[in-house]
Amino acid sequence: RHDFVALIALIACVASGIVPAADAFAGFGHPAVITVAAVLILSGMLQSTGAADTLVRKAVPATLGTSATVAALVFLSALLSAFMNNVGALALLMPVALQIAKRQGIMPGKLLMPIAFGSILGGMTTLIGTPPNLIVSSFRMQNGAAKGFGMFDFSPVGVTVALTGVAFIALIGWR
């Protein structure tokens, strides 16, 4: 398991003196780590309550063809990842995409890869959409800026790129 390997690596770094013992867990207090953890917890709650399934049933009717299904899922993936971590959005939509693929007789990869790209594209539109945006904002404050980036400071460029990317994936890229 990746979490076990990460813990063993941390212990090895502390034991060898590469990382001071006092700083071993300092990274867990970083705002990006806390935000990602909170978003993953929220994503898990949305999945376990069935809210995500309800949303997808309304957004992706069973009668859609493959092109429209891909377009709807990619758009939904991008939209969700703008307001939650892109990994969490993808984790929410993967089981749903697999159900839709099975129901419509589509190869799962034709839905999974597009929603992965959609979540990446949507994540770059807001501060909380992807951890690098949070890290850059905090780095900016640590290096003398009066404040970090705001929630929608990434949106003018991010939305343009995301809409272009989603259109490409929905129309051509999934094929």
pLDDT tens, residue by residue, 52-86: 677 777 777 777 788 888 998 999 999 989 988 78
Q: What is the pLDDT of residue 144?
A: 80
Q: Which of 25, 36, 39, 75 is nearest to 55 (CA)?
A: 75
Whether this model's pTM surpasses 0.75: no
Q: What is the pLDDT of residue 117?
A: 94
Q: Which of 111, 106, 133, 130 is nearest to 119 (CA)?
A: 130
- Residues whose CB is less than 8 angstroms from the CB of residue 129 and which lie 6 or more positions away in sequence, other chains included: 81, 82, 83, 84, 85, 86, 122, 123, 154, 158
Give percent of the chain with pLDDT exceeding 90. Answer: 30
- 122 pLDDT band (50/70/90 cuts)? very high
